[in-house]
Structure 1
Amino acid sequence: MPITEKYRARTMSAAEAAALAPDGAKMVVGLGVSYPPALMDALAVRVRSGDLTGGTLYCMLACAAASESILAPDLHDRIRHVSLFHGGVERGNDALRAGSAQGLVETLPVQFHQIPRILTEHLRVDTLFVTVSPMDADGCFSLGTNTDYALMVARSGARLIVEVNPAMPYVHGDCKIPLSAVTAIVENHVPLAQIPPLPRTPNDDAIGAIIAGMVEDGACLQMGIGAVPDAVCAALMDHRNLGIHTELLTPGLVGLIKAGVVDNSGKKIHPGRSVFTFAMGDQGLYDFLHDNPALEAHPVEHVNAPHIIAQNDRVISVNATIQVDLSGACNSEYMNGRQYSGTGGQLDFVRGAYASKGGRSIIACHSTAAKGTVSRIVPWLDGPVTTPRTDTHIVVTEHGWVDLKGKTLSERARALIGIAHPDFREELERGAFERRLL
């Protein structure tokens, strides 16, 4: 049978495709931009009508559209929602805010590079819903912006239901799914979700300049999302021969590629290519990704594996945190008494960057939060430890930076107090004495 006929044979409506998930299905949906809206709308109709019962849906960074569809408040008692990393949908969930046992969004703590194995080996998910690019001449779909955990799940034998969207960029790398692996195809041409850039503040720019001063020409970058990483990228425009091996590809990093600052010439693994596992940003980012051989997407179990990261020299990893305690431990996921985000890939890159020859793992944060009323450097963390004190390398605020490696607990406490906001330093010193760090 010609490949076009095979394609047509698997093509159906969103309702028909959603009906393929059985009662009690263990389902996972594409991360962020790869969330398939037509399929999730159809799945929500099934759940709401009682046609699908006992199902579990695993999500990571669910997009805003999910809050009016499969993750709508009225469905929380009809489908189990397990979050691998909270986004705005989970943070805005009334049941979660109230701490209600019924309808509660459950959190699964897991490092990003382990998620594919968790989904396929431990949880044994049976259905993947994901947005892909149109099929190429070889009969393959590209996972586009989101290879991350989707590739391993797609190769695990799980039921693979794809939403083909011409707006999804065709991306190169280890991110292709053959038509033969696909159970059902739904066609839906809609704009991709876009993440507008956050406005930068003087503190962001101060932190960005400090970090940029630590980056040597020829270094290899990993950046998170947000105003601070954007500020770092803006401050790197005079650098040369930088590389990219990052979990998340952002418009800030793309700007460095377009400016010729990034050429990946010094990389030991994937030389000459900017490597990422998922991308989020504006339409300009998606347009730049499309059919661009200078960029490659690879699965997260490869990109985020510390031993893979460490194969490149001079890796600079920049990640944000919510709190740093006076011993150097970081809480990057819990705030105001509840889960705010997730473990994610922070520890993956903290360890990978430090293991890199000449590498630096950087944790960055403003010195205060809540309009200056709360210190982000604290005697004790209010939540879980995302990055242990034994792993934390460099901490940066707008007041400076400290290298915690080789420092005793008392030396760490004094160093961190030194980059805290001046309004809180006396209070932190008292806290250090109470903790018997000083």
Structure 2
Amino acid sequence: MDVDAIYRNKLTSADEAAAMLRSDSDVAMGMAVAEPPAILAAMARRVEAGDLDALRIWYFHSMSHAADTVLQRDLLGRVRPHCMFLSGVERALMRAEPDRCAQMIEFVPTAFSASPRLLREDRELDACVTMVSPMGRHGYFTFGAANDYTSAAARAATKLIVEVNPLMPRVFGEGPLHVSEVDVIVENRSPLLEVEGHTPSAEDEAIADIVAGMIDDGACLQMGIGNLPSAVCARLKTRRDLGIHTELMTPALAELMRHGAVTNRLKATFPGRSVFTFALGDRAFYEWLGDNQAIYSLPVDIVNDPRHIAKNDNVVSVNATLQVDLSGACNSEHMMGHQYSGSGGQLDFVRGATASKGGKSIIACRATAKGGTVSRIVPKLDGPVTTPRNDVEWIATEFGAANLRGKSLNERAEAMIALAHPRFRDALARSL
């Protein structure tokens, strides 16, 4: 098989690739770093020209390439986003035109781990568009920084259109993509989307001290994105024999690997390798990912499967939430009367860590919001339950941590009030 010849025969322009799409169809889009800017721009041009309509786009976590093209406000209606996790892109659209955009953006509640099956079995995908790393000499691309649901959608779609970016890292893992599986190839060198860290707040630093103190040598880590998980990781550099089995690979976790705190030698699954399903960071981080034998990328329905997570001992899962009620139930996706994000993989990792021998599930949040004027510990949640009280284990704020497992409702309420800011504790006690 002459893979180079196959590649050349499938190589075309972004406009010619977008011409393959049809109106009134379902298209899966690579998420985050895997958004393909040249293809998305060509799709947007067809929509603007009136040549493409009723396009249903399925995705998690959009970023600026999508915002600047197919998710432009003026295209909503002709483009119908089917979003499974709202990001700042959708929130900005809804703020700009609340009534219209809220109706035009279809939020699809689903666990991240369920998205491959949804796109593989519950949708008839006309196409999948995504960014991939360059082809190797044996004819294989990799999904780079975004295996997640994309590897499943790529193989389920009638047409697979890939944008080859030489800056997308080649990442070892399950399901490399052979050139024979691809319908159309577009080449485009463009800087990868980056997420910069910020200085943690005093509250984040206090919470990080508490959480890091709960993580021992030999723990297998799952960390989310943001200032708090980064602050926790910064305190773990002297730990020994840590492992990583995480939804999201971040620069903070990479730093732990560089410092030798991570060996992965105690893991039952993929020993010696850090497992993840997608990655976000800066340019140096993406360069570090490329051809790195110490990491391993898997589809999200494997990485986030609680049964798979629990095969490893001493799993410590650290996730954030927006609001916790006095029974321990968490709302991690809804704020001020509106959908804010999505459930993502939180519940999967809560259950996986809890089922792990010696594991800990930790959900952390600042005790207050809006400059200290609003308590995140509340008598009753304002939105949906992301993590039920039956599943919650550890809750941590800057005022301490409490293990709710096995506690009665009265005992839980007492523990949660102690984690609230002192100015709200009396009111919470009176609400019982």
CA contact (8 A) 1:264 1:272 kept: yes
> Which residue of 2 is the match for residue 296 of structure 1?
296
Letter of the aligned partner of 1:388 in structure 2?
P
Does 1:243 pair with 2:243? Answer: yes
- Aligned partner of residue 163 in structure 2, secondary structure: strand
Q: Is the CA contact (8 Å cut-off) linking 2:3 and 2:138 kept in structure 1?
A: no
Q: Displacement of 1:420 after TM fit?
A: 0.5
Q: Secondary structure at the match of 1:50?
A: coil
How far 1:145 moved relative to its partner?
A: 0.1
Q: For the Cα contact (< 8 Å) 1:333–1:386, is it kept in 2?
A: yes
Q: Answer yes or no: is the 8 Å Cα contact 2:41–2:70 preserved in 1.
A: yes
Whether the aligned pair in 1 keeps the contact of 2:321 and 2:364 (CA below 8 Å) is: yes
The residue correspondences of 1:12-411 to structure 2 (distance < 5 A) are 12-94=12-94, 98-100=98-100, 104-411=104-411
Counterpart for residue 416 of structure 1: 416
The question of whether the paired residues in 2 share the 8 Å contact of 1:26 and 1:56 is answered with yes
Residue 202 of structure 1 deviates from its aligned partner by 1.7
Q: Which residue of 2 aligns with 1:6?
A: 6
Matched AA of 1:107 = F
Deviates more, 1:282-291 or 1:118-127: 118-127
Normalised TM-score (structure 1): 0.97
Q: Which amino acid aligns with 2:311?
A: Q
Following TM superposition, by how much is the alpha carbon of 1:422 offset from its aligned partner in structure 2, in angstroms? 0.5
Cα drift, residue 244 of structure 1:
0.1
Q: Is the 8 A contact 1:144 1:175 kept in 2?
A: no
Structure-2 residue corresponding to 1:436 = none
Percentage identity across paired residues of the two chains: 50
Secondary structure of 1:324's partner? strand
Distance in 2 separating the partners of 1:82 and 1:99: 17
Deviation (angstroms), 1:158: 3.2
Deviation at 1:159, TM superposition (A): 1.3
Distance 2:103 2:367 in 1: 36
Letter in 2 for 1:200: P
Asked whether the 8 Å contact 2:127–2:157 carries over to 1, the reply is: no
* In 2, Cα distance between equivalents of 1:269 and 1:158: 33
Q: How many residues align?
A: 432
Secondary structure of the 2:240 match is coil
Structure 1 ranges of 4+ moved more than 4 A? none
User: How far apart, CA to CA, are the structure 2 residues paired with 1:290 and 1:405?
Assistant: 41
1:191 deviates by 0.5
Output one character per residue of 1:166-197: Cα deviation in whole Å (capped at 9) or x when no partner: 01000001141110110100000010000000
8 Å contact from structure 1 (residues 325, 379) kept in 2 = yes
Cα 1:5/1:24, change in 2 over 3 Å = same
> Which whole-Å CA distance do the structure 1 matches of 2:366 and 2:82 have between them?
30
- Kept in 2, the 8 Å contact 1:113–1:302? The answer is yes
User: Displacement of 1:94 after TM fit?
Assistant: 3.6
Alpha-carbon separation, structure 1, partners of 2:296 and 2:352 = 19
Identify the range of structure 1 (175-184 vs 310-319) with the bigger mean alpha-carbon deviation: 175-184
TM-score normalised to structure 2 length: 0.98
Give, in angstroms, the shift of residue 216 of structure 1: 1.3
- Say whether the 8 Å CA contact 2:36–2:65 is kept in structure 1: no
| Paired residues of 2:76 and 2:101 also in contact (CA < 8 A) | no
Q: What letter matches 1:201 in structure 2?
A: S
What amino acid maps onto 2:134 in structure 1?
P
Deviates more, 1:278-287 or 1:198-207: 198-207
Change (3 A) 1:364 1:95: closer
Tell me how far 1:99 sits from its aligned partner.
Answer: 3.2
Measured in 1, the distance between the counterparts of 2:20 and 2:103 equals 25
Which string of whole-angstrom CA distances, capped at 9 and with x for unpartnered residues, describes residues 366-391 of structure 1? 00010101111101111111000101
Structure 1 gap ranges (5+): 434-438
Larger deviation, residues 49-58 vs 165-174: 49-58
How far, CA to CA, are the matches of 2:317 and 2:175 in structure 1?
24
Q: Deviations over 1:45-77 (max 9, x none)?
A: 111111112210012111123222100000002
